[in-house]
Amino acid sequence: MIRGTRKQRKRLRLKEYDYSQPGAYFVTICTKDREERFGEIVDGEMRANNSAAVVWSCWNDLPNHYPNVELDAFVIMPNHVHGIIMVLDEQIVGATPASPLQRKRHRLGDIVGSFKSAVTKRANEIRGTAGSPLWQRGYYDHIIRDDRSLTRIREYIAHNPQRWASDKENSDSKGNDEFDRWMASASTRTSGERAR
């Protein structure tokens, strides 16, 4: 490859934001090439397969590995997942100002990466496809800044299977999803607020 000809990847994270700080994060993680690996939508309901069961198990296991993580709404779709991860302000029992206990703060990317790795390993074991990639590189996140946004995102996640026909992750999508327009406008408003 000739130096400088490689396509620049779009930056997905806010440049100056500390993703290890407490907050609520809406994440979307897609399968490699948007391949439908977790089941199918039939009459507005997700019909999950064995790989989806692995996804569910690994998602629910995250707080066992990250004690300052609380999980909120979550949905598995045929080729992606949506979830809300709450990173809490960690309270360490037994720490005093004279002898503070040091514990590493994990960034959102560490948490998502661990989830993706665990799912891939276990799903490949079940399918007998060791080393096969399952997820696309990276993930999408949105910092949830207020209760109104949290409520709207929870509703979107809960109703996502019924919206599959207009979901941008669906290769057979038949339209634009109103939620995607709202997210784009929310991101624009947030960018404008940061610029001030």
Q: Taking the C-alpha atoms of 138, 53, 82 and 29 in order, what is their torsion angle to the nearest 10 degrees?
A: 10
Q: pTM here?
A: 0.81
What is the C-alpha separation between 123 and 170, in angstroms, rounded? 22
Q: Which two tokens stand for residue 156?
A: 């979107």
Q: For position 171, what pLDDT does the model report?
A: 84
Q: Give the pLDDT score at 193.
A: 36
Token digits of residue 138: 């990276």
| Cβ–Cβ < 8 Å for 70, 25 | no
pLDDT, residue 185, reads 73
Of 17, 147, 160, the C-alpha closest to 83 is 160
pLDDT at 100: 59
Measured from the Cβ of residue 132, the count of other Cβ atoms closer than 10 Å reads: 11
Q: Chunked in runs of 10, what are the mean pLDDT values of the chain (196 residues)? A: 51 67 95 96 95 97 94 98 92 58 79 97 92 94 95 96 89 76 65 34
pLDDT of the residue at 173: 81
Cα separation, 190 vs 196, whole angstroms: 10
User: What is the pLDDT, as a whole number, of residue 192?
Assistant: 36
pLDDT tens per residue, range 16-47:
777 888 999 999 999 999 999 999 999 999 99
Half-sphere exposure of 150 (CA within 13 A, CB side): 12
Spatial distance between the Cα atoms of 108 and 179, rounded to a whole number of angstroms: 23
Domains of the chain: 23-90+105-195 (3.30.70.1290)
pLDDT score for 167: 86
